A and B are shown apart, each in its own frame.
Chain A
Amino acid sequence: MTLEEKKQQVIEDFSLYDEWLDKYEYLIELGKSLEAFPEEKKTEDNLIKGCQSRVWLDVEERDGRLYFTADSDAIITKGIISLLIGVYSGRTRAEIAGDDFGFVAQIGLKENLSPTRANGLVSMIETIKNLAENGR
């Protein structure tokens, strides 16, 4: 699936739910199904600054593509980072760096988070972009 197709799919998945409580339920499921993140990777370096709950993000580059893994101690935040890496994992640096992350606004995620969590979301996006542009 191309990046555009994947983003479209997320927008469609999200639009299935009218109520925000159901959208949270969906994010919680995403969070729960996220691949286990090794304890030794929960380092200060991998910690995303600006989130109230703790969020770790790690990246590996294979064959010119970036593969993200992540974790959080709060499950909804974990669902959000899971959603992001589901879209951007396996893409090239150029693809990620050139993307505007506009689909996040389209699903109304940022507007429906508390300000502190919205800031956290911005930090997550910036960290992913920064990793694509500048590497570790």
Chain B
Amino acid sequence: MAITKIRNQFPILDTKVYGKPLVYLDNAATAQRPQAVTDCWVGLVNEANSNIHRAVHHLAAQATEAYEGARDRVRTFINAGAREEIIFTSGATASINLVASSYGQVFVNEGDELIVSVCEHHSNIVPWQLLCQHKGAVLKVLETEEDGRLSPERLRALLSPRTKMVAITHISNVLGVVNPVKELVSVSHAAGVPVLVDGAQGIVHEKVDVQDLDCDFYAFSGHKIYAATGTGVLYGKRKWLDTMPPYMGGGEMIETVSFNGTTYAPLPMKFEAGTQNFNSAPTLVPALDFAEAVREEKEVQEEQEAILDYLCTQLLQDSRIVLYGSAREYKIPLFSFAVKGVHHEDLALILDKIGVAVRSGQMCAEPLMNHLGVTGLLRASFAPYNTLEEAKYFVASLDKAIEMLL
């Protein structure tokens, strides 16, 4: 069975917690690492540890090759037009901050408007708020439709001649429904406004083609798609990256330095100041290889669909439960819900003792929680190594926890 073979690549899935088999359903926070990623990571540390780009010795050449090879792999994974459009960062948060700061410095002025959606992660809200404070710009909020999706029509109504950026999530980390990014981009572009897509969840669950989406920026983290922590990507269209000033100054990002003025390195190094995470970035290669391979597995697709069907049915028919983000057709296996009369933290605590790892709380989306009128939710998020059997165990455990608490 394909899923058993996949699970065997993840040693951590054999862990027992409090004597019970671990059921890891917090994949939207971070995914687990397959053995190939760990091997790559350890291999680089043990065999090719050297600072990249500058030195002429053998190890440096190996490390540089691994690092730049990862850039090529990312390019093909998201079908970017050129490798110069792939900037390595420490994660999606750093990618978004880079754009907010650097693009904002040149293109945003007092009285200008920026649009974010109500279902954004704090990482796609706060950088824009900081920019607004700095420049005297105004942050506008795009609401979701009843089913949790963003609508191009609603966005069109919010765009104005002063809008300078639309920053929206591909898939909300709370609602778990895929937004019509291509249409949202098209509407924004018709108004002459660039779009940044927060792809932290989207990159994991959707086949992303940045040229097809036509988005101006696409940000994601490595650790949510099986790569090492501290890795991240910013895709940016060359026309923007060329005109944006460097985000940070330091080593590697310069061409020549003098006290009379400094000239900057060409893309992508212009945005990669300081020593890069060269032991970790290359883990994106086995990680993305894995992601691509499992995406093609028919058995995995069927299991994921079965999990989706099962949980949508179970959670929607249970009168004690309120599920948020219910557009089945666009749903990924990520379920955030409230249980009436029961605190999400109590549920998570009891589920933990039964071996089930889920997330509780605001999930870094406090504005969305306020919008939904809840103090927090419980979230179960599945990965291709999770099984329908685990989904059933989760539902049975949840039922037990609710019974204990009511």
Is A75 in contact with B346, judged by CB distance below 8 angstroms?
A: yes
Whole-angstrom CA separation of A54 from B344 in the bound complex: 12
B340, chain A: closest CB distance, angstroms = 13
Neighbouring A residues of B343 by C-beta, 8 Å: 53, 73-75
Instruction: Render B99-110 as a binary contact track against A, CB cut-off 8 A, 1 for contact.
Output: 000000000000
Is A20 in contact with B405, judged by CB distance below 8 angstroms?
A: no
Whole-angstrom CA separation of A8 from B343 in the bound complex: 31
B69 at the interface (CB under 8 A from A): no
Neighbouring B residues of A73 by C-beta, 8 Å: 343, 375
Neighbouring A residues of B361 by C-beta, 8 Å: 52
* Interface core residue of B345, B361, B404 (most chain A CB under 10 Å): B345
Within 8 A of B (CB), among A43-69: 52-54
Instruction: Report, as a range, how many residues of chain A touch the other chain.
Output: 10 to 19
Neighbouring A residues of B346 by C-beta, 8 Å: 28, 74-77
Neighbouring A residues of B349 by C-beta, 8 Å: 24, 76, 113-114, 117
Neighbouring B residues of A75 by C-beta, 8 Å: 342-343, 346, 405
Whole-angstrom CA separation of A14 from B62 in the bound complex: 58
A25 at the interface (CB under 8 A from B): yes
Within 8 A of A (CB), among B381-406: 404-405
Neighbouring B residues of A105 by C-beta, 8 Å: none
A21 at the interface (CB under 8 A from B): yes
Is A20 in contact with B345, judged by CB distance below 8 angstroms?
A: no
Is A21 in contact with B350, judged by CB distance below 8 angstroms?
A: yes
B253 at the interface (CB under 8 A from A): no
Is B404 in contact with A20, judged by CB distance below 8 angstroms?
A: no
Task: Return the contact of A25 from the options B18, B345, B404 (Cβ within 8 A).
Answer: B404
B353 at the interface (CB under 8 A from A): yes
Neighbouring B residues of A24 by C-beta, 8 Å: 349-350, 353, 404
B354 at the interface (CB under 8 A from A): yes
Neighbouring B residues of A54 by C-beta, 8 Å: 375
Whole-angstrom CA separation of A73 from B18 in the bound complex: 26
Is B345 in contact with A117, judged by CB distance below 8 angstroms?
A: yes
Neighbouring A residues of B85 by C-beta, 8 Å: none
A122, chain B: closest CB distance, angstroms = 16
B352 at the interface (CB under 8 A from A): yes
Within 8 A of B (CB), among A69-83: 73-77
Neighbouring B residues of A53 by C-beta, 8 Å: 343, 345
- Chain A residue with the shortest CB-CB distance to B343: A74
Is B404 in contact with A28, judged by CB distance below 8 angstroms?
A: yes
Instruction: Render B318-359 as a binary contact track against A, CB cut-off 8 A, 1 for contact.
Output: 000000000000000000000000110110111011100000
Whole-angstrom CA separation of A117 from B405 in the bound complex: 17
Whole-angstrom CA separation of A117 from B349 in the bound complex: 9
Is A74 in contact with B18, judged by CB distance below 8 angstroms?
A: no
Is A20 in contact with B18, judged by CB distance below 8 angstroms?
A: yes
Instruction: Render A23-46 as a binary contact track against B, CB cut-off 8 A, 1 for contact.
Output: 011001000000000000000000
- Chain A residue with the shortest CB-CB distance to B341: A75
Is B345 in contact with A74, judged by CB distance below 8 angstroms?
A: yes
Whole-angstrom CA separation of A90 from B310 in the bound complex: 52
Task: Return the contact of A21 from the options B342, B345, B353 (Cβ within 8 A).
Answer: B353
- Chain B residue with the shortest CB-CB distance to A51: B345
A78, chain B: closest CB distance, angstroms = 9
Whole-angstrom CA separation of A113 from B354 in the bound complex: 14
- Chain B residue with the shortest CB-CB distance to A74: B343
Is B345 in contact with A77, judged by CB distance below 8 angstroms?
A: yes
Whole-angstrom CA separation of A117 from B361 in the bound complex: 12
Is B375 in contact with A20, judged by CB distance below 8 angstroms?
A: no
- Chain A residue with the shortest CB-CB distance to B18: A20
Q: A20-B18, A24-B404, A73-B375 are in contact. Are A52 and B345 (CB under 8 A)?
A: yes
- Chain A residue with the shortest CB-CB distance to B352: A114
Whole-angstrom CA separation of A54 from B18 in the bound complex: 27
Neighbouring B residues of A117 by C-beta, 8 Å: 345, 349
Neighbouring B residues of A20 by C-beta, 8 Å: 18, 353
Neighbouring B residues of A114 by C-beta, 8 Å: 348-349, 352
Within 8 A of B (CB), among A97-120: 113-114, 117
Question: Would you mind naming 18 contact pairs between A and B with Cβ atoms under 8 Å apart?
Answer: A20-B18, A21-B350, A21-B353, A24-B350, A24-B353, A25-B404, A28-B404, A52-B345, A53-B345, A73-B343, A74-B345, A75-B343, A75-B346, A76-B345, A76-B349, A76-B350, A77-B345, A114-B349
The 7 A-B residue pairs with the shortest CB-CB distance in the complex, in nearest-first order: A74-B343, A74-B345, A20-B353, A76-B346, A74-B346, A21-B353, A53-B345
Residues of B near any A CB (own CB < 8 A): 18, 342-343, 345-346, 348-350, 352-354, 361, 375, 404-405
A-B contacts besides A24-B349, A54-B375, A75-B405, 4 pairs, CB < 8 Å: A24-B353, A52-B361, A74-B346, A117-B349
